[in-house]
Amino acid sequence: MFLAQIFVRALFDYDPSTDDLISCREAGLAFSAGDILHILAKDDHHWWQARHWTSDDPSEALQLAGLIPSPELLEWKTSCSTIERAKRKHSVKIGSMYGLFFLYDIKTGRMDNI
């Protein structure tokens, strides 16, 4: 039976040593924009197993595999950072009321629980 192999080209640089979301940074696979990665497993929704691909050289099998963030995780991470930037741009934290912090939206004048 033929199993399809999956290859992807990285569109950004990734350094697992600076990623707070990966549980074991040593298991991460660093890559640069333009690198071609051979996806070995997509069993986890957040982290895929991959290795660098250079050619059809049999020695490729000896290259170490590592974890890379899945597209789903990257989309979530991007959404969260966009929301945080918007909050910082349009809101300021003000004093506590009854032990809770509130976020004050400068544009609308609304206060929301944090």
Give strand ranges (E) for the chain.
6-9, 36-41, 47-52, 66-69, 91-97, 100-105, 111-113
**Dihedral over alpha carbons 58, 7, 32, 17 (to 10 degrees):** -90
CATH fold, domain 6-69, is SH3 type barrels. (2.30.30)
pLDDT per residue as tens, the chain (114 positions): 556 788 999 999 999 999 999 999 999 999 999 999 989 999 999 999 999 987 666 565 557 899 999 999 988 888 888 877 777 776 555 444 443 444 555 556 565 544
Please tell me whether the overall predicted TM-score, pTM, comes out greater than 0.75 for this model: no
Residue located via tokens 């966009």:
82
Cβ atoms 66, 48 nearer than 8 A: no
pLDDT in tens, 79-98: 888 877 777 776 555 444 44
